[in-house]
Amino acid sequence: MGGGHQGWSVDEWNERGAGQWRGARRWSAGAFLLVGAVLAALATGCGSTAGPTPPPEPRPSAILGPFTPGVFDHAFVDVRTGSVTPMPHGIEGGYSYRRSPDGSMFAFESCCGEFFVASIDGSGLRQITPHRLDAQGAAWSPDGSSLVFQGRRGGDRIGDLFVVDVATGSLRRVTDLEPRRSGWWFMWPSFSPDGRSILFHLPRRHPDPTTWDLWSVPLTGGRSTIVRRDAGMGQYSPNGRTIAYLPSLDPRNATGGSIRLMDMTGESRMLVEDRGIWWPRWSPDGTRIAYAAENHEIHVVDVATGRVRTVGDGGVAEWFDDHTLIVGPGGEHS
């Protein structure tokens, strides 16, 4: 796959567009909570200079006690209690909020293919991606210095992966895919835990553009290598020893019917089976994975036991800390 992925075709792929991920806004009852008081509680310890705490050994689910799942839109949700806190004023209404590794900032997508960064309290808002690129799917580097995202220059071309320096705004292209006018899909980029490579997925060559494979490309660019065939939406565990992925993505909407875990030897095991799985995300401590499923339900599965808890109704979920999800709306992914 050196020199870019020349020859790839996704002509059969149905255009879904960025709007597929942004559903109608539905405000939860938690929207009337006092932002300042709860944010202070959520942000306790953020910005600490202490070194990282090693992730604990996998154990049965730490989600405590029953609670009634809710309907969430741009809110923090405590997965232990179900308590809800709205997003900080001024940055609510975005999509896919990603907390920086040190807990001091958010990166999030606007409605128009642009990514912004802001402090956890919503201050210091600024655009981080160039105006000329339609940006999708930003993810933080492990050291918090940069973001990787998929950038397109209009139309329906799949685009390339770019890395932007958060402090300076300098931009560097990582992949060099052959331009194509065809349906496109989110490449789901993310850094490896050591920060040296980027994991992403792409469709196979024509005539089988409905099957997706996981690839890895060095942060410095160059030759991409296959990681797993017939797999998509892959993400490394925090300790880098496991990749969670969706096998056999549905060609109609790129959702999956299960989440599998692959170890460093390439062996994999089933974690959970569900309908219309979308947007799997590891918790920071590596003990759980949050995902969206059919009917726009957010679930959390315990990695050690496979036990699943329904959190509520939403389109996507990102982890704020080990016990708190940032739940946002989503489009018709199932």
Mean pLDDT by 10 residues, the chain (334 residues): 37 34 32 32 37 35 41 78 85 86 91 87 91 86 96 72 95 81 73 96 74 93 93 95 94 88 95 94 97 90 95 89 86 42
Residue 14 lies in a domain: no
Residue 211 lies in a domain: yes
Q: Please give the Cα distance from 86 to 89 (Å, whole number).
A: 8
Q: Which residue in this structure is represented by tokens 């090693």? A: 54
Q: What share of the chain is helix, strand, coil (3-state, %, to 5)?
A: 5, 40, 55
Instruction: Output Rg (C-alpha) for the chain, integer angstroms.
Output: 19
Distance of CA 125 to the CA centre of its chain: 21
Tell me 52's DSSP state. P
User: What SS3 class is residue 300?
Assistant: strand
The pLDDT of residue 210: 75
Residue 17 lies in a domain: no
**Total domains, the chain:** 1
User: What SS3 class is residue 20?
Assistant: helix
DSSP code per residue over 89-150? TTTTT-EEEEE-TTSSEEEEE-TTS-EEEEETTS-S-EE-S-TTSEEEEEEE-TTSSEEEEE
Instruction: State which residues form the domain around 217.
Output: 73-328
Q: Please give the Cα distance from 320 to 326 (Å, whole number).
A: 6
46: nearest Cα among 96, 117, 99: 99
Residue 124 lies in a domain: yes
Residue 290 lies in a domain: yes
The pLDDT of residue 32: 26
Residue 150 lies in a domain: yes
The pLDDT of residue 44: 38
CATH of the domain at 324: 2.120.10.30
Q: Please give the Cα distance from 79 to 191 (Å, whole number).
A: 26
Residue 30 lies in a domain: no
Q: Please give the Cα distance from 44 to 34 (Å, whole number).
A: 16
The pLDDT of residue 8: 32
Cis-peptide, bond into residue 101, ω within 30° of zero: no
What is the token pair recorded at 266? 């390439």
The pLDDT of residue 75: 87
Residue 34 lies in a domain: no
